[in-house]
Amino acid sequence: MAQAIILKNGNIVRKGNITGETYFTTGHLASFKAPDGTRYTCAAYLDIKKRLTFYVQETSFYTNIEAAEYDKMKIYNDKDWDKVEENDIIEIQKREISLMGTPSYCWNTYNKTYHIGESFSDKDIPLTGFTVNTSKSYCNNLALTNTALEFFNKNVILSNDSKVKESIADVAQLINNIDKYIYESFNTGIDLLKENQKALWRTLDTSSLSSDSQKKAYYDQYYINLLNYYNLIKKRIYILNNSTDIESTILTAMSMHPKILIGLSVKIKIEMLIYLVKYLLSEDIDKVEYEEFVVSIVYSFDKTDTNNINLFLDGLIDPKKSISDSKMKEHPKPEEYEIFRNSVTLFEAIYTRMSQSWDVTEKIISWVNYIPGFDFDPVLTRYNFVDAVYRLWRYSKYNPYKDNIYKPELLSLVEDNQNTMFKYSRKPSIKYMPNMSFTIDKTSGPVVINYKSSENFGLYDQNFIFEFTGYNKICALTNDWNVVKNEQISEPPISRSWFPYGYYDIFQPVTLVDHNNETSLPILTVDNADPSGNLDNYNSIVPIFYIKYIAQLSKNKNAEFLIFRTADIVTFFRSGGGLVGKLSHIRGLSKFEHIITLTETIQLSLDVTNAVSDYTASCNNINSKFCQKLKILLGWVELSAVGDDAMSRLQKKIAAKRFIKEIDFGEGIPSDFNTDEAQEFISKIRILAEEIDDLELLNKYKETAKKILDEILSSDTKKYENYYSNNQITELFTVAFNKNLSTSDIAGIIHQACRIRNPVYIAPVAELKQRMENLLQVKRQGFPYTFNSKADFQDYIDEKVKPFIEMFGLPKNTIKYGGSSITSPGGFSPGPQDTDWWVFFENKDEERLFIEELVLRYENYKAQGLMKGSKANGKIRRLRERYAERLKERKEYIDKEYITAVYHGQITEYQGKVVDLRKIRDDGSGFYEAYFGSDETDVTLKVKGDIEAIPNIKIKLF
């Protein structure tokens, strides 16, 4: 009679002379020490991605796995075990947790007598026939370290679900293993940080996770990431045998949350990054774990600790900490532009080694130390590295708007000969001579970059790329000849397709302006975004390294992902609102407060400059076309003063032309602007406006409007058909141009008239011209034709629209209204005329979060008895399926059926019931009709960047 054990594959064997056994929670043998003293572990534990049941010597596994040399690994074969015999005593250990009363965590030993013919599988070993051996069982503080036990006790009481409790126990066991076998393996000099990390585990708060399914998913992912870390560190221990101090520090610190790593000095952090770049990040195996640790290091700063933030950022670009370029493989450049490289900054070395998947289906997963509510996404390591550095940059000395106060001592133009951190040139770096020879100035670049990025078959085409050049520099190159051409040379050289536009320090800030947009200036913003939506509170400047990443991403990534990732930092200065007043760095560089320079020969005196500046500062009437066009004009004048390129000059002239047209054919000159200084200003603007031909401006307008019209017509050919000839469309575009309607307005009016109706109705061109006047009238009066007055419209908004949006928990930042009610006193089709509302998510990320919120609502309906479980589960499944289908069809919106809320109001029929956004529901009822009554209304959710229903009018409700 001998002692027997059960292997992972279910086989029963005699124990023999092995010692130090550990067990899986299922009761199977997990690891042991062989007679030669070396430890063997089940391969299923060493590599969780494969269901391997053999036992391998740990040392041989870890020293050969990187080269995938499995034949060199030492395996404990079946022949090494003695066969089990009748009446042998089987011994197993199983983990058991108490689900009753006070929580307890135990490893209990069980025995039973073996009888020939008995067998087990690799699944959980049933305890039938086994008896507990209390002398070999141990619980709580005998089974777990204090840290792991505290984690278990705090978390296991948060759920009554046995599966959740088991997942929590799995995590507790791994914390025990890390605490016991990893932390005690190193004397790294960061013991305080280890204790802080243990404290974080002991106090982990998951109270924000409401459902058991959420908790189960969270703890399961936590376990996987902890196990990956545990096995990675064990591997490094075996490979290195005697780790260096710095690697011991890295291996220990890798388990720690960024909040814990704050305690490390900047010196140690930089040393760790250098070591990672030189010895670990360049390896092909296990890169992601090390890359995520790099991101953790960058995140490990308190935003108020600006001294250490500055020291750390200095270290990333310090020439003394540069990395040899011998291993760097440069991507082919579009053209030679004198790259100067022998070594690269630490920032560049990390950037080029970080991973970036271009798979659009890639999911953001939890990190090993993820805490609900902490804003940290680890998987896209290059993005997260760039984003983490950007966050530090915001609070550093490199940000000219730190604390929302502009610091003019940071920026200057080269010709001003000031000793500032960053310098800019007025002209692009490449300069062509009349004989087509050129020079390249590698010392600086314009502060304004005329960046354009447009979608083409799901990817973005762009007119700029950004490349590292060594020595803390990034070069912006453009393939847009219009950006770099000068007035002496109008045709691009045949020999070159990419042109150096500017050379910038890695942390140097610039401003982005899209010259293609007629009514807005899209500009990336640093911080201090006013949640109320007041765009005057944006500072529009961003470091060049961040733009480099976004541009590179847009070359490779699906357009949907780019919008999802960048929408949170992009805003639009509509109709010049706030442009001149908030771009303080442009104001400082342009010297605009002293003198306005229109061209080399046209300048305005200080008195005129002051008068115009004072007027625009007090000109806040959003309904005044004169005010809007004046601000746009001054914005382009100022931007062209610091970026003297062809596109800026053209936009300045276009803005001048539109300003003069508003004076001559629109509102005229306001009485409070009719001074001598104002008249001088207008007379010189007329000279500038005469430099551009109306025909040139009209052709550009028609081209843009046609592109918009074609896009929206082709997006839904089942409902729309183009009823109008090219000549008719051209005539309508020309009329709209002279009325100062936007290109989207006229494209929308024609699109409305192309709706397929029964009976067929094709509105004559004269009617469409009248609709243009109607739209202008609605904009002037401030309410659509479905209401009698602005007061009636406001009552409808306050009493119905706003409560409706709040009830359904819809976004509040961007809201627009439109439909036939803004272009016609009567409807275009049978039935009553309604007012259409569009509520916008800022980006795809916000939309996805809203879907998860809808799922939680269904979970709550089940819990509250408002909806049967089967029905709610079906709704959740179809919600996800339908949204996935929409993504494939590129019609990305959430079906109104699944946007639900519980109604609490005055309508008895729906009181306390679940309602949704459908006008007519499956049972024939209509909550819309009951709620809005005679005020026919339709509300639709969209995402910024999707095709919009036009024309529309933006309105601020909240």
- Residue 492: pLDDT band (50, 70, 90) is confident
Produce one character per residue of 111-140: b if its CB has 16 or more CB atoms within 10 Å, e if not: bbebeeeeebebeebeeeebeeeeeebbbe
243 has a pLDDT exceeding 90: no
Range with the poorest average pLDDT among 162-166, 664-668, 680-684, 732-736: 664-668
629-646 residue pLDDT tens = 777 777 667 666 666 656
- Residue 817: pLDDT band (50, 70, 90) is very high
Q: Quick one: pLDDT at residue 123?
A: 86
pLDDT higher at 345 or 571: 345
- Location of structure tokens 């141990």: 138
Indicate the angle between helix axes 212-240 and 245-253, nearest 10 degrees. 170
What's the whole-number average pLDDT of the chain? 77
771-792 residue pLDDT tens = 999 998 888 888 999 899 989 9
Q: Which helix (H) or strand (E) holds 82?
A: strand 82-83
576 has a pLDDT exceeding 50: no
Q: Quick one: pLDDT at residue 188?
A: 57
> To 5 degrees, how large is the angle CA 514–CA 520–CA 526?
70
User: Which amino acid, one-letter code, is at 890?
Assistant: R
Let me know: does 828 contact 755? Beta carbons within 8 Å: yes
Judged by phi (left if over 0) then psi (alpha if -120 to 50, else beta), residue 888 lies in alpha
> Which two structure tokens, joined as six digits, stand for 630?
């004046």
Q: Which of 324-338, 339-353, 906-920 has the highest mean pLDDT?
A: 906-920
911 has a pLDDT exceeding 60: yes
Residue 643 DSSP SS3: coil
Q: Quick one: pLDDT at residue 443?
A: 82
Q: Quick one: pLDDT at residue 162?
A: 86
Average pLDDT over residues 450-454: 58
Calculate Rg over the CA atoms of the chain.
34
- Residue 358: pLDDT band (50, 70, 90) is very low
Q: How far apart are CA 814 and CA 838, in angstroms?
A: 8
Going by C-alpha positions, the residue among 183, 208, 181, 213 that lies closest to residue 198 is 183
pLDDT higher at 869 or 260: 869
Produce one character per residue of 430-444: b if its CB has 16 or more CB atoms within 10 Å, e if not: bebeeeeebeebbeb
Cα separation values, 658 from 626, 629, 663, Å? 10, 7, 9
- Residue 706: pLDDT band (50, 70, 90) is very high
Q: Quick one: pLDDT at residue 365?
A: 26
Q: Which helix (H) or strand (E) holds 411?
A: strand 411-413
Range with the poorest average pLDDT among 149-153, 203-207, 715-719, 895-899: 203-207
DSSP string, 243-254: --HHHHHHHHHT
Average pLDDT over residues 144-154: 89
935-946 residue pLDDT tens = 888 899 988 877
pLDDT higher at 134 or 547: 134
Average pLDDT over residues 828-857: 80
> Which two structure tokens, joined as six digits, stand for 825?
């006193």
Q: How far apart are CA 606 and CA 593, in angstroms?
A: 8
Q: Quick one: pLDDT at residue 72?
A: 80
372 has a pLDDT exceeding 50: no
* Cβ-based neighbour number of residue 240 at 10 Å: 12
Q: Quick one: pLDDT at residue 833?
A: 73
Q: Quick one: pLDDT at residue 529?
A: 34
- Residue 115: pLDDT band (50, 70, 90) is very high
Range with the poorest average pLDDT among 512-516, 602-606, 645-649: 512-516
Average pLDDT over residues 406-426: 85
Q: Quick one: pLDDT at residue 728?
A: 92
Q: Quick one: pLDDT at residue 299?
A: 86
* Cβ-based neighbour number of residue 873 at 10 Å: 14
Average pLDDT over residues 512-541: 40
Q: Quick one: pLDDT at residue 539?
A: 46
161 has a pLDDT exceeding 90: no
> Which two structure tokens, joined as six digits, stand for 284?
């092909």
Let me know: does 489 contact 436? Beta carbons within 8 Å: yes
Q: Quick one: pLDDT at residue 598?
A: 58
Let me know: does 915 contact 803? Beta carbons within 8 Å: no
Share of the chain above pLDDT 90, in %: 19
Q: Is 162 exposed, middle or buried (0-12, 13-18, 19+ CB in 10 A)?
A: exposed
Q: How far apart are CA 630 and CA 635, in angstroms?
A: 8
Q: How far apart are CA 281 and CA 82, in angstroms?
A: 45
> Which two structure tokens, joined as six digits, stand for 810?
């819809």
Q: Quick one: pLDDT at residue 191?
A: 67
Q: How far apart are CA 493 and CA 481, in angstroms?
A: 9
Q: Quick one: pLDDT at residue 570?
A: 27
Average pLDDT over residues 749-769: 89
40 has a pLDDT exceeding 80: yes
DSSP string, 742-781: -HHHHHHHHHHHTB--SS-----HHHHHHHHHHHHHHHHH
* Cβ-based neighbour number of residue 686 at 10 Å: 15
Average pLDDT over residues 877-890: 76
Average pLDDT over residues 150-170: 88
Q: Quick one: pLDDT at residue 828?
A: 59
Going by C-alpha positions, the residue among 940, 948, 859 that lies closest to residue 895 is 940
- Residue 715: pLDDT band (50, 70, 90) is confident
Q: Quick one: pLDDT at residue 661?
A: 80
The runs of H, that is alpha helices, within 619-764 are 625-642, 646-665, 676-689, 694-714, 726-738, 743-753
Checking 622-626 for CB contacts under 8 A at 24+ apart, the result is 622/575, 622/577, 623/779, 623/780, 623/782, 624/667, 624/670, 625/662, 625/666, 625/667, 625/740, 626/662, 626/663, 626/666, 626/667, 626/668, 626/669, 626/670, 626/673
Q: How far apart are CA 276 and CA 282, in angstroms?
A: 8
367 has a pLDDT exceeding 70: no
Cα separation values, 435 from 432, 488, 495, 744, Å? 8, 10, 14, 43
Share of the chain above pLDDT 70, in %: 75
404 has a pLDDT exceeding 80: no
Range with the poorest average pLDDT among 124-133, 139-148, 218-227, 755-764: 218-227
- Location of structure tokens 């805490």: 371
Q: How far apart are CA 208 and CA 371, in angstroms?
A: 10
Residue 604 DSSP SS3: strand
604 has a pLDDT exceeding 90: no
Q: How far apart are CA 591 and CA 716, in angstroms?
A: 50
Cα separation values, 620 from 614, 627, 656, Å? 12, 7, 20
- Residue 829: pLDDT band (50, 70, 90) is low
Intra-chain end-to-end CA distance of the chain, in Å = 81
Report the predicted TM-score, pTM, of the whole model to 2 decimal places. 0.54
